[in-house]
Amino acid sequence: MTEEQLKKRIGTENPFRVPEGYFEGFTSGLMEHLPEKERVVTNRTPTMWEKIRPLVYMAAMFVGAMLIIRIASTHYVPGQETTGNEDIDKEMEYINMAMENSMLDDYSLYVYLTNDDE
């Protein structure tokens, strides 16, 4: 059968209908059929854990962030403490790293450092 033959045989109108005035009294009729129930209101006090839980969660978040930053740090070596002699080495390492990333050749750096405009 083709689509046109089906439309002739069945029709094109919507077969699903709601009776007239069905929804006008629907809510009041439904509420009448429901049993009456007393509403019980209890005033309970929060426990100590419920009071301090947000603070504990926030402290755990900061501790976790500190640990992640500490572990993800590129210069972190467990058990190694910095001494006064290593400060100069670290400073030179930072200077060398900055120079490599600055994309300046030696001559441009020389001109920049010897520029006496002041």
| Prediction pTM value | 0.32
The upper half-sphere exposure of residue 83, i.e. CA atoms within 13 Å in the direction of its Cβ, equals 3
* Digit-coded pLDDT (tens) for 1-38: 788 888 888 888 887 888 888 888 888 888 888 888 88
Residues near 82 by beta carbon (within 8 Å), at least 6 away in sequence? 90
- Per-residue confidence at 91, pLDDT binned at 50, 70, 90? confident
pLDDT given at position 45: 92
Q: Which residues contact 104 (CB under 8 A, 6 or more apart)?
A: 112
User: Hey, what are 38's tokens?
Assistant: 């007393």
The mean per-residue pLDDT over the stretch 69-75 comes to 77
